[in-house]
């Protein structure tokens, strides 16, 4: 099975002694490294090194280019060189989204309005971010009018990509088995769970899935928010 997660692809590519050796050599060099240099570092042929290096490029762990001479790249006459990408490579099991949490908190601090307290700013930013994600997915998928069951299926796929581990308990209920913001949620549940609910409510709004709502329903070891079909004639709670 091919995974879409860039970090997992990169780590899978590095699960080889030769690739890891070349990757480590290139990182320590702190300059572009040629195939010949990488091959010599691990004691293999240039041709075999090229194969492994290009696998690391495909996985996103390295980037490749032709060394420029006089500012003009001349393919075939100058060596191909490799250097690390700027991306951090890390995987957490179960998945965590501390970057998302940090980004929301930072944007809230920078945009807090007059008469708005910190928690209000955090929930506003979280909801706006979720709404943008939901709207982008709706634009991509163009699902038309969403009933509750189809909306729960769609949002489940979307949140699975963000580390929530959705579990369809019933046709009308989607539990999120993993909290991507753990263990920080345990330190400040009121702040982080409120942020999380606002974020997920924003996703629902962005999808224009008015037949469902995101409600707080904390359970030990799981996400604090549950997605449910909305009862007829009611409106989802606003944060």
Q: How many CA atoms lie within 13 A of 34 on its CB side?
A: 9
Q: How many CA atoms lie within 13 A of 208 on its CB side?
A: 11
- What pLDDT is recorded for position 159? 92
Q: Which residues, 6+ apart, have CB-to-CB distance to 18 below 8 Å?
A: 42, 44, 48, 52
Q: Which residues, 6+ apart, have CB-to-CB distance to 218 below 8 Å?
A: 189, 193, 224
Structure tokens at 75: 């393919």
- What pLDDT is recorded for position 186? 82
Instruction: Tell me the pLDDT of the chain (239 aa) as tens digits.
Output: 344 455 556 666 677 788 888 888 998 888 899 999 999 999 999 999 999 898 889 888 888 988 764 445 555 566 789 998 876 666 555 666 778 888 899 999 999 988 899 999 999 999 999 999 999 999 999 999 999 999 999 999 999 888 888 998 888 999 998 888 888 888 888 899 999 999 999 999 999 999 999 999 988 888 899 999 987 654 443 33
Neighbours of 102 (CB within 10 A): 11
Nearest to 131 by CA among 158, 105, 166: 158
All structural domains of the chain? 6-84 (1.10.10.10), 98-229 (3.30.1380.20)
Nearest to 159 by CA among 140, 177, 185: 177
Q: Which residues, 6+ apart, have CB-to-CB distance to 207 below 8 Å?
A: 134, 135, 137, 138, 143, 146, 151, 154, 155, 158
CA pair distance 225, 216, nearest whole angstrom? 5
pTM (predicted TM-score)? 0.62
- What pLDDT is recorded for position 70? 47
Neighbours of 47 (CB within 10 A): 9
- What pLDDT is recorded for position 91? 56
- What pLDDT is recorded for position 236? 41
CA pair distance 174, 169, nearest whole angstrom? 6
- What pLDDT is recorded for position 2? 40
Structure tokens at 118: 């910190």
- What pLDDT is recorded for position 12? 67
């Amino acid at each position: 099975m091919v995974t879409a997660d860039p970090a997992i692809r990169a780590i899978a590519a590095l699960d080889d002694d030769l690739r890891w050796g070349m990757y480590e050599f290139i990182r320590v060099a702190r300059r572009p490294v040629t195939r010949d240099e990488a091959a010599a570092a691990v004691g293999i042929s240039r041709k075999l090194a090229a194969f492994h290096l290009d696998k690391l490029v495909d996985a996103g762990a390295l980037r490749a280019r032709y060394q420029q001479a006089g500012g003009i790249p001349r393919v075939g006459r100058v060596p191909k060189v490799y250097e690390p990408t700027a991306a951090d490579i890390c995987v957490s099991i179960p998945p965590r989204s501390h970057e998302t949490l940090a980004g929301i908190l930072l944007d809230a601090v920078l945009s807090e309005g007059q008469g708005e307290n910190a928690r209000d700013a955090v929930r506003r930013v979280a909801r706006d971010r979720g709404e943008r994600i939901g709207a982008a997915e709706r634009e991509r998928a163009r699902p038309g009018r969403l009933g509750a069951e189809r909306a729960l299926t769609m949002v489940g796929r979307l949140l699975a990509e963000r580390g929530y581990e959705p579990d369809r308990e019933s046709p009308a209920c989607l539990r999120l088995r993993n909290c991507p913001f753990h263990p920080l949620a345990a330190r400040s549940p009121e702040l982080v769970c409120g942020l999380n609910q606002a974020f997920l409510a924003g996703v629902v709004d962005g999808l224009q899935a008015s037949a469902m709502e995101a409600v707080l329903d904390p359970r030990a070891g799981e996400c604090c928010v549950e997605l449910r079909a909305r009862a007829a004639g009611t409106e989802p709670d606003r944060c």
